[in-house]
Amino acid sequence: MVFKRRDPKPFLRAVLELLWPRGGWARAFQYVKHRVRRLPDTPEKIARGIWAGVFTTFSPFYGMHFFVAAFLATVMRGNILASLMATFFGNPLTYVPIGIISLQTGHWLLGSEMKEGTERSFGGKFVDAGEDLWQNLKHVLMGEPRDWHGLRIFYDEIFFPYLIGGIIPGIIAATICYYVSVPLIRAYQHRRKGTIKAKFEALKAKAAAKAAAKASEIKHKAD
């Protein structure tokens, strides 16, 4: 294949770079910020896409954030590409505080409590839910009894509180990012237009000078 890597990236290295990109998260953030500012769209539309992406990171739909962000951006008439890049707001460095804030807010709103101590951990409940789902799908095909205990615990103690609790902090974080993004993107676009215009004028002046010099040379030879 034309675009296939000549040196396939080892699986472990790919996983490590997912958790810690080459050059660090600061460099990755700068790259995403640069790409967002250069999107060919209005500042408001790009910012609406950013709102959708940031808000999505406060939802428990892990593995589906791109799809959720794109859907919200479409509904909001925002820039879809900006929404996809804004999901970078949720990364291995921020998912822990996002999860804790969302879960605590959700349990507080629902009047329930987060069970700790002897109960399974946050990650353990995700694992249990995944195992339950996989095992029960196999049992459905083989006509065997099914047990949804792990999924019920996951839904009651993690998923639903996370879903409800992520709404308020998600709206707050996304709205802050929206209002910060609009003037920054607008200023960048104005500056970029000025830079492009200046380069164009310089090229025009250079072409005019070259044409004038050539005309002068022809006239000199004619004389």
The string of pLDDT tens digits covering residues 148-193 is 666 777 788 888 999 999 999 999 999 999 999 899 888 888 877 6
Q: Which two tokens stand for residue 47?
A: 């910012």
Nearest to residue 185, comparing CAs of 49, 75, 69?
49
Which pLDDT value is given to residue 176? 96
Tell whether the model's pLDDT for residue 28 goes beyond 70.
no
DSSP 41: S
| pLDDT tier, 197 (very low <50, low <70, confident <90, very high otherwise) | low
pTM: 0.69
Residues 19-39 have a mean pLDDT of: 57
| pLDDT tier, 44 (very low <50, low <70, confident <90, very high otherwise) | very high
The string of pLDDT tens digits covering residues 83-138 is 888 888 887 778 889 988 999 999 999 988 766 544 556 666 666 666 776 776 76
d(CA 100, CA 123): 12
d(CA 104, CA 10): 38
d(CA 27, CA 181): 19
